[in-house]
Amino acid sequence: MRIGQKVALVSMIVSAALAVLKIVTGVMAGSTSVVADGLESAGDVLASGLVFLGLTLAAKPPDWNHPYGHGRAEILTGLLVGLMLLAAGFAISFHALLLVGAVHQPPASYAIVPLIASIGIKSVMASVKYRFGKKIGSAALAADAWNDAVDIISGIAALTAVSLTLYDPERFLAADHYRGFAVGVIVIFTGLRVTRDTGLQLMDTMPDEHMMRTIRDVAQQVPGVEGIEKCYARKTGLQYHVDLHLEVDPEITVRSSHDIAEQVRNRIRRDLNWVADVLVHVEPSPRDQRRNGM
């Protein structure tokens, strides 16, 4: 099992355990904040499940009907996580506003225990997911890291709200609900960011200029390459597929130009592990036209 799948699977187990702990403790302690945070953790189980599914499908090798592989499944699951965050954010904010002004008993003091545990655990999980998401180029894993970051903010807000309510129930009884609204807004903006990033990848947006320059530099190290006419790249999952137009001496044979193109393809795939494959087009170098002033 690949590292991304392992991280997603561990995340599902941890989120499920946190969800049960917070919901049970919240009900026993009479804290709507802790119960709501537990329900949010339950949603994280679904999000991590989607990420696990996406990474599993993305690992399938290319076939006759999917010559570029199945990597887009991983990006698609990242998009679904972003949409889930948007829906959850609106639901949290709306529900919190409905409960403003409601009268209820203050929660028991032990309600803060699962919140403190959740903040610590989620901090570690978010860091691990983001690091491995960047390392393997997983949009879904990075999206799930943002989901955990939202949980950390949510947990801190819940801890603050419960603490204020315990400190002065008469003045801060509604803090629980205002906290919910604020967290909902944060979740919405996080969902928008994740949806935007994954949407751009699905639309074949080019990688940043540094990555494109790196591809060109590696290609030009091959003897016989006189220039790069065009260079395009698109993300098809965890890696990129590159279209490269090489300029070579127009007087050499077709076999020689083909050998140069094959060397470029192999060099890029060897040196850049984030490139899945390279489609090389060979073009005649315009050096003769430049020399003659044409």
> pLDDT: is 96 or 288 the higher one?
96
Identify the pLDDT of residue 226.
93
Identify the pLDDT of residue 1.
47
Average pLDDT over residues 185-206: 84
DSSP per-residue letters across 270-282? HH-TTEEEEEEEE
Least confident of 63-77, 86-100, 246-260: 86-100
In the numeric block, the tokens 């187990």 are attached to: 13
Identify the pLDDT of residue 236.
85
Identify the pLDDT of residue 180.
66
Pseudo-torsion of CA 129, 195, 15, 121, nearest 10°? 50
pLDDT digits (tens, 9 = 90+) for 149-168: 877 887 887 788 778 777 77
pLDDT more than 70, % of the chain = 89
Closest CA to 52 of 3, 85, 18, 125: 3
pLDDT digits (tens, 9 = 90+) for 93-130: 787 777 666 555 666 788 888 888 889 998 998 998 88
Report yes or no: 29 and 107 within 8 Å, Cβ to Cβ: yes
Identify the pLDDT of residue 44.
75
Identify the pLDDT of residue 265.
96
Query: Is pLDDT at 242 greater than 50 in this prediction?
Result: yes
CB atoms within 10 A of CB 1: 11
Identify the pLDDT of residue 294.
46
**Top-confidence range, 13-17, 75-79, 249-253, 284-288:** 249-253
Supply the mean pLDDT for the chain.
83
